Structure 1
Amino acid sequence: MARLVSFGARMSRSTRRLIILLALVSTLMFYLHQSKKSDLEYEPDYEVPDFAAIHGKQVSELSDSSDSFESFSEIRSMLLKSPVVIFSKSYCPHSKFVKTLLSDRYKMDPPPLIKELDHDSHGQALQDALETITGRRTVPNVFVGGKSLGGGDEMRLLHGQNNLETAFQTGAGKRFTITKVTDH
């Protein structure tokens, strides 16, 4: 300990300040990286298939552009980022119903990722890929744990039968929580 004190005493004041500053910056960078990592990287405990590999032969039939193939990867990426993903169109009344139902009547952690297809330059290609994946072209298309649970009618039915919470919790994995908000 005496050696450490004598070593510190021999350093100039500016050198000590620089060392302290570097230590603070290193610590700050570590915490910022951890915070960013936890916000952006949800590690799912459910399986999301590689849609592009599964539907590879059908992709070329969807469109002459390369957007279709990339759409499968983009959809898979979204499903890996969040346990609940809602493909929607901002003007669609059924989409509005589902988004309102889920936001007003349920608390979800993490919150659902909402993809407004009409606000995305690749919205048409994404919708084509969703039809290939699920057989459903309409919106909303609600995915839980990487699988489509349906659209407005299915969400209305699950909610009406008090099964929505269970269906979401079962499909979305252990790191996801959903609770029904009680009426006041």
Structure 2
Amino acid sequence: MGLSRRQLRLLMVSGFSLFLMYIMYSSKGDNPSSLSDSRESANSIISANPNAKIDEAINNKISKLYQQEQAEKAAEEKAAVDAAAGIKVTEEIDAIEEDFDPVKELMQIRALAPMIVFSKSYCPYSKRLKKLLTEHYEITPSFFPVELDKHKHGKLLQEHLAKISGRATVPNVLIGTSNESKGGCDDFLNLHESGKLATMLNEWGNKKLSVKRLETPSNV
């Protein structure tokens, strides 16, 4: 069984003490050449007060080791607290996600408008599609955009959309009661350029959506 950290430190202090005592007392010499040398050595040792110096050195060493031990203990306690906090946050997130029902959420979103554009606020293709629909078409009722990057459960909702609509990317447009994706930015741009987008939107809306193309120059 190995020595504990405290036992190792005590062993170090003991060894350090013995080393200092050896250094302090070895200066006496085993064979003094004269009585005067012996007296001078004795006086030197007495005046140096070796016991006090050894005690001071030992106390300083013990103090440094204690401070180091306290610092390491505080760091270990902080790491344990941080780990516990991280576990708690993860558990709370998991609990929230377990309560989220993407099927129910999608049904509630679809009830808001016949045409839903699932988008992300930073996505350039999403921005381009929303600009196309807004500036070149009169859609009644207006399409409803859902910014997945700002939705509380956007990641889970997008995963569910990928399964039921066949499209995992954004923008992703759902119209009417069908769960099939009507396309992304490029699909809508192609229909727009061919002059068929308004017709297709009305057909997909099944009389629940009224779409007219505005007579404006196309610069999309």
Q: TM-score, normalised by structure 2?
A: 0.52
1:93 is aligned to 124
1:106 aligns with 2:137: yes
Match of 2:153 among 122, 125, 150: 122
Write the distance in 2 (CA, Å) between the matches of 1:66 and 1:161. Answer: 45
User: What are the residue-to-residue correspondences of 1:1-184 with 2, within 5 Å?
Assistant: 65-66=97-98, 70-147=101-178, 148-183=181-216
> In percent, how many aligned pairs have the same letter?
36
SS at structure 2 position matched to 1:85: strand
Q: Which has the higher contact order (CA 8 A, sep 6+)?
A: 1
Using the TM superposition, give the Cα deviation of residue 81 of structure 1 relative to its aligned residue in structure 2, in angstroms. Answer: 2.3
Write the distance in 1 (CA, Å) between the matches of 2:98 and 2:213. Answer: 42
Gap regions ≥5 residues in structure 2: 1-93
Counterpart of 1:109, as a letter, is T
Counterpart of 1:66, as a letter, is E
The CA RMSD over aligned residues, in Å, is 1.8
Counterpart of 1:164, as a letter, is L
Q: Report which of the two structures shows the higher radius of gyration computed on alpha carbons.
A: 2
SS at structure 2 position matched to 1:136: coil
Counterpart of 1:77, as a letter, is Q
**Do the aligned partners of 1:80 and 1:146 also contact (CA within 8 Å) in 2?**
no
Gap regions ≥5 residues in structure 1: 1-62
Using the TM superposition, give the Cα deviation of residue 73 of structure 1 relative to its aligned residue in structure 2, in angstroms. Answer: 1.5
Equivalent pairs counted in the alignment come to 121
SS at structure 2 position matched to 1:94: helix
SS at structure 2 position matched to 1:75: helix
Counterpart of 1:166, as a letter, is T
Q: TM-score, normalised by structure 1?
A: 0.61
Cα deviation digits, residues 30-63 of structure 1 (max 9, x gap)? xxxxxxxxxxxxxxxxxxxxxxxxxxxxxxxxx9
Q: Which runs of 4+ in 1 moved over 4 A?
A: none
